[in-house]
Amino acid sequence: MLEQEFESKKKFLLAKLPDYLKAKGINTESSFSCLNPKDTSHLPSMKYDAATNTVKCYNCNTCYNIFDLIGMDNNLSSFSQQFAKAYELYVGKLPIGFVSILSKLNSEREASFSTENTSPKPYIKEPVFEIADEHQKQNTFIPFGHNDAIKSDDVFGAKKIDESRFGHIEPEPFGGNLMNNERFNPSNIGSDGVSQQRSANAISPFDEARLHPFNARNTVASNTPVQPTFGGFGQAQNIASSLHNLNTPDEKNTDTPKLSDMEHSPFQTFSREDTYDYTAYIKKCCENVGATDYFRERGLSDSIIEKFRLGYDDCYYADGDNNPDSVIWKAAIIPYGTHGYVARNTIEDDSGERFRKKGFFNIYNHEALEQPGTIFITEGEMDALSLETLGMHAIALGGAGNIQLLMESIRGVNVKHHYYICLDNDAAGEEAANKLGAMMFQSGISFNRINLAHPYKDLNEALCSDRDTLSQRLSSLEKMLTLKLDGLKSNVPGYRYINSSEDLSSLRFSPSLYSLSGHPMVLRRISAALIRNSSKKCIYASLSCQRNALESIINANNQNLGTSYSENIRFIEYTKENLISKLITGVGSMIIQGHTDLVTFVDLTSLTEQEAAGIIRKIEDENQVLKVAMVLLCNQSAREAAEGICIQNLNVDISEGGEFTVKTINEQGRPAFFVKTSSF
């Protein structure tokens, strides 16, 4: 029964290949680029075959099922590990009974190789990693440590290197060149126990090839695989130990440097076969980080540089195929634990190449998922480090193609988080953020998609260019995300516009702000005329001298006054310091006494443009409560400030015949002109 269930689950997992491909951003309905890292044609020559649940390339004749691809993407060499990983992705925790079946299958496999008196053929396919190039906005899939410039028929050792210039050349690692599928050949082993083939990866004084018998350019493929004790930032969760040991010989490599040599290391314990331990190399680079200002110039704090073991290699060999001088980098080293790192070229060059990734990779700063609190998801390592510098918990995809890997990591932790997706502000980041958001939504994971970096491309650029703004956004992020702005109100009354002399004479104003602009003397005369002819209660707020000027106009024409004129006008005298308080008190008292249909004239002609602009904004704020018609008298210098806030501005002048001419903009936004006959 158990065997039948195992076969049933195996068929189920094989049928999940389309889902796995879609998670990698591949359209299974059409041809796509070959997934074989040795196929350098970059042609859309691979297609999904639903009949066999495989993908086939018609250029290199490669055929993969889901277990093959999972092995390549996660550096899992045995079927038992591949099956366990697939089961974890699409079903859940692997049953104990399946472990015994996988152990049995593995034993039978080893026995068959023993009968044939041959060594088991190693799993050669290397994982691929999507590297986002800053200069080319297209996705390029390349194997770890692989250089596109290296031709498929090249072998390490075939290049001619000037040893007098670059120093001695280290031996090729056991297992030969994985790039060219070379098998381990005992005949190539010399008396010193290492291969007689030569490698060019020996330029750097910190080069990992000098620190370990295996060349760091390749993942280890050996009859005695390294068993590193420690892992670190971004490492995947351990598969059950019984599965890890299915293909692992009993022998241990006691010469491998241990991370215990490092003091206060944040790296976590990790055990994995077929991985290289870069502990000593990372330690050397970390000790040399003071030789560069690269990380500090990118805004990172000293504590973050120390915490994340950032380093520097001023003579890094970047596996180029051109003139050796063009592939020696002054490289910033960002570790992914002890089994992988990113080298970033700190010097701009014509090639446009900026990154090299070596070793085993997962999500950068994966340990942050074990800590409580919110988690920011960024695209690049420097973006995550930028947020860590500002006190946040952040992880990085390390490439827009690692979304599925991130989802596995999130599902694999017991701590619940709220996530903020803040990928790069470009087409690739937009697409990846949409895909990640959709997957998190379907999985019921709490998240927000935010744009912290605007107007910059990414978070590190924002940190370097405007640190204060980025810090302010982070400190008030919750408030900004919950802020709800008002939408369109359907019950807002329409405003009245003054379109004729009759509208102006009858003071048909809405309870809002209007302005009259022009020469102060002209504005006082038209105000006196409007107040005289209106039956509404009017208030004139001004300085004492301005009130006197208005009253002199009124008294000079006293014989023409109506009997109710003196009852319709009230004055408010103010100073620049108490204008607002006097206005609130005076107008408020009239409202309380029952005079709600009133018009208040506020004389601002004595104020400068800057003073008038500030006062007008304050009057508008207070009138949101008072809700009365207010007419602001402004000189020409303050006209634009008044027009920016008031409902309508009337530009007033006086003709030689004593008539007021009024120019304005009507409710249709068109110029309007009319004449008001003066009563004085």
Q: What is the 3-state secondary structure (H, E, C) of 515-533?
A: EEECCHHHHHHHHHHHHHH
Please give the share of the chain, as a percent, with pLDDT higher than 70: 71
Question: Which of 42-46, 320-324, 630-634 has the least mean pLDDT?
Answer: 320-324
- For 427-450, the DSSP string reads HHHHHHHHHHHHHHHHTT--EEE-
Run of H or E residues at 474: helix 467-475
For the chain, the C-alpha Rg in angstroms (whole number) is 39
Q: Which neighbouring-strand residues pair with 538?
A: 569, 599
- Tell me the helices (H) and strands (E) count for the chain, helix number first: 24, 21
pLDDT per residue over 200-215, tens digit each?
A: 333 444 544 444 333 3
Contacts 24+ apart (CB under 8 A), 467-472: 467/299, 470/386, 470/390, 471/390
Give me the torsion for CA of 77, 79, 82, 84, rounded to 10°: -130
- For 36-101, the DSSP string reads -TT-TT--S-EEEETTTTEEEETTT--EE-HHHHHHHHHT--SHHHHHHHHHHHHT-SPPHHHHHH
Q: 3-state class of 480 per DSSP?
A: helix
Q: Which residue type, as a one-letter code, is found at position 229?
A: T
Whether the predicted pLDDT of 281 surpasses 70: yes
d(CA 342, CA 334): 5
Fold of 365-478: Dna Topoisomerase Vi A Subunit; Chain: A, domain 2 (3.40.1360)
Run of H or E residues at 313: strand 311-317
pLDDT (average), residues 137-149: 34
What is residue 429's predicted lDDT score, i.e. its pLDDT?
A: 92
What is residue 350's predicted lDDT score, i.e. its pLDDT?
A: 67
Q: How far is CA 193 from the centre of its chain?
A: 49
What is the pLDDT of the chain when averaged over all its residues? 76
CA contacts within 13 A on the Cβ side of 91 = 19
> Residue 624 to residues 486, 494, 513, 629: CA-CA distances in angstroms?
16, 15, 10, 11
pLDDT (average), residues 84-113: 77
The angle at the Cα of 357, spanning 351 to 361, to the nearest 5 degrees, equals: 155
Which ranges constitute the DSSP H helices of 534-667?
544-556, 565-568, 579-592, 609-626, 639-645
pLDDT (average), residues 289-294: 96
Give me the phi and psi of 376, to 5 degrees please. Answer: -95, 135
Whether the predicted pLDDT of 51 surpasses 50: yes
Give me the phi and psi of 395, to 5 degrees please. Answer: -125, 160
Contact present, 195 and 176 (Cβ < 8 Å):
yes
Sign of the dihedral defined by the CA atoms of residues 493, 494, 495, 500, in that order = negative
Question: Class assignment of domain 501-676?
Answer: alpha beta
Contact present, 605 and 576 (Cβ < 8 Å):
no
- As given in the structure block, the two tokens for residue 103 are 């152990």
d(CA 65, CA 55): 7
Q: Which neighbouring-strand residues pair with 516?
A: 633, 650
Q: Which residue type, as a one-letter code, is found at position 406?
A: L
**Omega into 455 within 30° of 0, i.e. cis?**
yes
Q: How far is CA 450 from the centre of its chain?
A: 7
Q: Which of 286, 250, 240, 251 is nearest to 266 (CA)?
A: 286
- Going from N- to C-terminal start, the domains of the chain cover 2-115, 198-362, 365-478, 501-676
The neighbour count for residue 471, using CB atoms within 10 Å, is 14
Sole residue written with tokens 């020996």:
202
Sole residue written with tokens 């390592």:
381
Whether the predicted pLDDT of 581 surpasses 50: yes
What is residue 342's predicted lDDT score, i.e. its pLDDT?
A: 94
d(CA 92, CA 197): 45
pLDDT per residue over 527-578, tens digit each?
A: 998 988 788 899 999 999 999 999 888 777 655 554 456 778 999 999 989 9
The angle at the Cα of 236, spanning 230 to 237, to the nearest 5 degrees, equals: 85
What is residue 565's predicted lDDT score, i.e. its pLDDT?
A: 60
pLDDT per residue over 601-658, tens digit each?
A: 999 999 999 999 999 999 999 999 999 999 999 999 999 999 999 999 999 999 988 8
pLDDT (average), residues 122-133: 36
Q: What share of the chain is helix, strand, coil (3-state, %, to 5)?
A: 35, 15, 45
Whether the predicted pLDDT of 163 surpasses 70: no
Q: Which of 116, 126, 37, 148 is nearest to 75 (CA)?
A: 126
CA contacts within 13 A on the Cβ side of 208 = 27
Sign of the dihedral defined by the CA atoms of residues 47, 50, 54, 59, in that order = negative
**522 CB burial (10 A radius; 0-12, 13-18, 19+):** middle
- As given in the structure block, the two tokens for residue 324 are 């050796």
d(CA 106, CA 119): 14
DSSP state of 364: B
d(CA 602, CA 576): 12
The pLDDT confidence band at residue 100, using thresholds 50, 70 and 90, is: confident
d(CA 612, CA 634): 8
DSSP state of 144: T
The pLDDT confidence band at residue 680, using thresholds 50, 70 and 90, is: low
> Residue 571 to residues 466, 504, 525, 539, 629: CA-CA distances in angstroms?
52, 21, 16, 6, 16
Give me the torsion for CA of 364, 368, 369, 370, rounded to 10°: 130
d(CA 430, CA 435): 9
Sole residue written with tokens 């806030």:
645
The neighbour count for residue 100, using CB atoms within 10 Å, is 13
d(CA 452, CA 368): 20
Residue 149 or residue 8, greater confidence = 8
CA contacts within 13 A on the Cβ side of 29 = 0
pLDDT (average), residues 319-328: 57
Contacts for 594 with CB less than 8 Å, ≥ 6 apart: none
DSSP state of 143: E
- As given in the structure block, the two tokens for residue 4 are 């039948």
Contact present, 386 and 308 (Cβ < 8 Å):
no
Residue 243 or residue 526, greater confidence = 526
